[in-house]
Amino acid sequence: MKRSEINEAIIEMEDLIREHGFEIPPFCNWTPAEWEDKGSEYDEIRDNMLGWDITDYGLNDFAHTGFSLITIRNGNQKLKEKYVKPYAEKLLMVRDGQHAPMHYHAYKMEDIINRGGGNILITVYNSTEDGQLADTDVKVTQDGRTYWVPAGTAVRLTPGESITIYQYLYHDFNVEPGTGAVLLGEVSMCNDDNTDNFFYEPIGRFPAIEEDVPAYRLLCNEYPAAKN
């Protein structure tokens, strides 16, 4: 993925966030140069991968398959004594015409909230014991309502609506065509993108980057080590 694509996605998401009146933490606005001076007092950001995360899943087709997101807060299952938070929060952007692939989480349970913009379609399947898509009805919990849908149903979330994604529940993300980019919120248990994403079709999680222009913001896996 080109750095210019990453920069463009970040700027676009910043605009979408402002449009819907959401304020993000100060560290999301730091430049690469500002990061060079940040000491060990900011290790929670480094260790828990807070901040910007833009991915094309290694497919080099970000216009159609990809995600833009910010991790705002997060605990750490590997460093529980140091970071005791059992929860995480994210903001995500999906462009009109963009897709995030089918996957599940073994540890994390999460609520996905449409914070504004277009409508998001979340296709759901139960997982079999060997990681396949089960042909069984899926339990959906949506804003206080519990109901069942056939396997492969696309649950539609308009702005303000949310869905609970349980462990081992396969799900993907697609914008309802013509409704515009969607700003999503995620409230969840601790998040570990290195070990707790199980994709139906094997793909990567973090992109290889072609440095065609300077970075506008650093991604959450690019922070320099603390100087002190």
CA distance 178 to 97: 8
Q: What angle do CA 210, 19, 177 make, to 5 degrees?
A: 70
- Locate 178 and state its tokens: 């013509």
CA distance 64 to 168: 25
Give which of 132, 87, 136, 129 is closest to 111, Cα–Cα.
87
pLDDT of residue 193: 85
pLDDT band at 205 (very low <50, low <70, confident <90, very high): confident
pLDDT of residue 206: 82
pLDDT of residue 227: 84
CA distance 77 to 211: 32
- In this prediction, what percent of the chain has a pLDDT beyond 90? 93
Residue type, 225: A
Number of residues assigned to the chain: 228
Superfamily of chain region 3-199: Jelly Rolls (2.60.120.10)
Give which of 164, 167, 170, 49 is closest to 108, Cα–Cα.
167
Give which of 68, 77, 74, 78 is closest to 13, Cα–Cα.
68
Tell me the pLDDT tens digit for each residue of 75-126: 999 999 999 999 999 999 999 999 999 999 999 999 999 999 999 999 999 9
pLDDT higher than 90, residue 149: yes
31-34: list long-range contacts, CB under 8 Å, 24+ apart.
31/216, 31/217, 32/214, 32/215, 32/217, 32/218
Which DSSP symbol is given to 136? S
Strand (E) positions, 108-149? Answer: 110-117, 120-126, 138-142, 145-149
Quick check: helix, strand or coil at residue 194?
A: coil
Q: Give me the sheet containing 153-157, strands edge to edge.
A: 153-157, 120-126, 169-175, 99-104, 198-199
Would you list the domain boundaries of the chain? 3-199
